[in-house]
Amino acid sequence: MDIGAFMLDSVPFARLLGISFDSVGVGTATARLPDRADLHNHVGGPHAGALFSLAESASGAAMLSVFGDELSRAVPLATSAEIRYLKLAKGEVTGTATLRADRAEVVALLDEGKRPEFTVAVAIRNADDVVVSEVVVSWTLRPNRQP
């Protein structure tokens, strides 16, 4: 499965923002937000909401790279997120996400009918490779309801 394409098909808002995926690996993903005037805030950088959407999209791709095969029995849902804005972002930015979970532990909980929770960390960098924001997204896999 092309996870980047799947994300952009499943999340039209990410497409609207122009988010693209540079890479998706096992437990990792890097997404890019273009430098567009219609995405800027009052100080000329990407709006906080656009930065958050970049991070959430990258985290979703990193999550799916490990748990995408569980979609037939569970729905992935972001449950919370924390974002820290460290520096003014200017220009194009990238978000690199890293899954902080052990697949076997998460799948074991899902096998028990439980709703596992785990996090994905995202570093947002400017074109100079300076981290401008840090985000941690909490995810769950909600088991599908039985008929």
Q: Which residue has the tokens 């273009």?
A: 34
Quote the pLDDT of residue 39.
96
User: In sequence order, what DSSP letters do the residues of 82-133 get, joined into one string?
Assistant: EEEE-S---S-EEEEEEEES-HHHHHHHHHTT---EEEEEEEEE-TT--EEE
Q: What count of Cα atoms within 13 Å lies in the side-chain half-sphere of residue 71?
A: 11
Question: Where in the chain are the domains?
Answer: 3-143
Q: Which residues are bridge partners to 75 per DSSP? A: 142
Global pTM value: 0.95
Q: Summarize pLDDT for 87-108 with one digit per residue, the tens.
A: 999 999 999 999 999 999 999 9
Give per-residue pLDDT as tens, 127-136.
999 999 999 9
Kindly state which CATH superfamily the domain 3-143 is placed in.
Hotdog Thioesterase (3.10.129.10)
Between 103-111 and 48-67, two packed helices, what is the crossing angle to 10 degrees?
Answer: 80
Q: Determine the angle formed by the axes of helices 48-67 and 3-10, rounding to 10 degrees.
A: 130
